[in-house]
Amino acid sequence: MNILLLGSGGREHALAWKIAKSSKLDKLFIAPGNAGTNQVGTNVNIKAEDFDAIKDFVLGNDIKMVVCGPEAPLVAGISDFFKNDEELKNIPVVGPSKEGAQLEGSKEYAKEFMLRHGIPTAAYKSFTKETLAEGKEFLKTLKAPYVLKADGLAAGKGVLILNELEEAQKELEEMLGGMFGDASSTVVIEEFLSGIECSVFALTDGKDYVILPEAKDYKRIGEGDTGLNTGGMGSISPVSFADEEFMTKVEERIVKPTIDGLNKENIDYKGFVFFGLIKVGNDPYVIEYNVRMGDPETESVMLRLENDLVELFEATFAGTLSEQKIIKDPRFAVSVMLVAGGYPGDYEKGKVMTGFEEVTDSILFHAGTTVKDGNIVTNGGRVIAVSSYGKDKAEALATSFKNAQKINYEGKYFRSDIGFDL
């Protein structure tokens, strides 16, 4: 069958790489894709949010399945757009309905959902402009650090963690005053949880689910998890502390109740659920839900998933997910992100990249790249994810770091301590 994948990051290159291995695939198209996705499929110059153009392309190219990489089209309702269209309604979209996507699109919605279904998460209250004074009072009842979250999508930047009460009160006022536009017209204030984080992924049809290999990502720009938050500087799978005992708790306390909750509430959800977890003591808590795969987690997770991904998608739509068994590559997989100088602040694009042909034993998942005048050039803050296998963590990392040295462009930076805390 022909498949259309939406998105343009490292996650999408990793998904495209995996889909391209499927025995079920005829042609893979990626909209809009990047310089890497074009090596495993065909890029199409359509934005992932342009539903009308997507419709024309799907009908004109005999597309039999659409896979949505990023959250924005899901929150904007791409699955419903297909379901409600006479000509598109029989074409499955991997990704939840608009309602299901609210698990990521609104922190308040997600918190209320967790509360309804007894899913462990930080205690919280939410506030709007009208209740700013109460919000400031509420902060006084909490201990530092203070966690403030914009309710809506804010490109991973909507969470502030502050050590001083006055600062937290000031930031609350600024957030409600439009710091993140509409996304922060409601702000969730949360209890601070202290522990180590990991990402768990399920693929669900809204009733049954399979759990994919877990991963840990490294969000801060600086070594030792210091400095500004980024989209993610690297990932590793498996995660040593996510042992059988911990993962049993995750499944029983979090994954199952989440999927049962979707089912009970009749929420149409056929796609990935990303559980952003934190281990407090020995117990998992949900920090956030996402309604898509993680980036850069996907760049490690896809290396360890041995199943045919398209078969898993087919099972999701056939209602046969319970018959599927996930097979994991026993090796370690790591991904080291090369980024642009200055990222996550201001950075330049269009830097010519060289050294690709010298890379051996790693898979280069392109994130922010494009082709210009016959050269591959940088086209984003996160540029390329150098992904490798190893018999252990050290071997996989050594391969990625060796190859990270071989790719060159002006301003290149990467963290050389991915996995340091495991």
Report the interface residues with ligand AMP, using CB under 6 A: 122, 147, 149, 159, 190, 192-193, 197, 219, 276, 287-288
**Binding partner at 193 among ligand AMP, ligand GLY, none, C-beta below 5 to 8 Å by kind:** ligand AMP
**Binding partner at 294 among ligand AMP, ligand GLY, none, C-beta below 5 to 8 Å by kind:** ligand GLY
Q: Nearest distance from residue 290's CB to ligand GLY, in Å?
A: 5
Binding mask 105-124 for ligand GLY (x = CB under 6 A): --------------------
Residue 375 Cα distances to 67, 350, 359, 369, 379, angstroms: 28, 10, 17, 10, 12
Written as one letter, the residue type at 304 is R
355 phi-psi bin (left φ>0, alpha ψ -120 to 50, beta other): left
Q: Nearest distance from residue 153's CB to ligand AMP, in Å?
A: 10
Binding mask 202-231 for ligand GLY (x = CB under 6 A): ---------------x--------------
Q: Which residue is nearest to ligand AMP (CB)?
A: 288
* Residue of 190, 205, 208, 295 interacting with ligand GLY (CB under 6 A): 295
Q: Nearest distance from residue 120's CB to ligand AMP, in Å?
A: 12
What is the DSSP track for 214-240?
PBEE--EEETTTEEEE-S-SEEEES-T
Written as one letter, the residue type at 349 is K
| Long-range contacts at 247-252 (CB < 8 A, ≥ 24 apart) | 247/200, 247/211, 247/214, 249/282, 249/283, 249/284, 250/200, 250/275, 250/277, 250/284, 251/211
Count CA within 13 A, CB hemisphere, residue 301.
Answer: 28
Structure tokens belonging to residue 230: 């980024």
Q: Nearest-CA neighbor of 384 among 350, 348, 418, 353?
A: 353
Q: Which residue is nearest to ligand GLY (CB)?
A: 294
Q: Are 46 and 53 in contact (CB under 8 A)?
A: yes
**Binding partner at 192 among ligand GLY, ligand AMP, none, C-beta below 5 to 8 Å by kind:** ligand AMP
127 - beta bridge partners? 187
Instruction: Establish if 234 lies at the interface with ligand GLY (CB under 6 A).
Output: no
**Binding partner at 205 among ligand AMP, ligand GLY, none, C-beta below 5 to 8 Å by kind:** none
Please say which residue, 77 or 120, places its beta carbon nearer to ligand AMP. 120
**Binding partner at 132 among ligand AMP, ligand GLY, none, C-beta below 5 to 8 Å by kind:** none
Count Cβ atoms within 10 A of the Cβ of residue 366 and give its class: 0-12 exposed, 13-18 middle, 19 or more buried: buried
The distance in angstroms from the start CA to the end CA of the chain is: 41
Q: Are 171 and 159 in contact (CB under 8 A)?
A: no
Stated length of the chain: 422
**Binding partner at 290 among ligand GLY, ligand AMP, none, C-beta below 5 to 8 Å by kind:** ligand GLY
**Binding partner at 295 among ligand GLY, ligand AMP, none, C-beta below 5 to 8 Å by kind:** ligand GLY
Give the interface segment with ligand GLY, choosing from 49-57, 123-131, 288-296, 316-324 (CB under 6 A).
288-296
Instruction: Establish if 300 lies at the interface with ligand GLY (CB under 6 A).
Output: no
Please say which residue, 169 or 370, places its beta carbon nearer to ligand AMP. 169
**Binding partner at 422 among ligand GLY, ligand AMP, none, C-beta below 5 to 8 Å by kind:** none
Instruction: Establish if 297 lies at the interface with ligand GLY (CB under 6 A).
Output: yes
Please say which residue, 123 or 394, places its beta carbon nearer to ligand AMP. 123
Q: Nearest distance from residue 298's CB to ligand GLY, in Å?
A: 8
Tokens 């930076």 sit at which residue?
413
Instruction: Establish if 290 lies at the interface with ligand GLY (CB under 6 A).
Output: yes
CA distance 296 to 387: 10
Residue 358 Cα distances to 107, 151, 278, 369, 371, angstroms: 44, 45, 38, 18, 19
DSSP state of 327: -
271 - beta bridge partners? 204
CA angle 279/400/219 to nearest 5° reads 35
**Binding partner at 287 among ligand AMP, ligand GLY, none, C-beta below 5 to 8 Å by kind:** ligand AMP
Please say which residue, 246 or 389, places its beta carbon nearer to ligand AMP. 246
At residue 31, what are phi and psi to the nearest 5 degrees? -120, 120
Contacts with ligand GLY by CB under 6 A lie at 156, 217, 232, 290, 294-295, 297
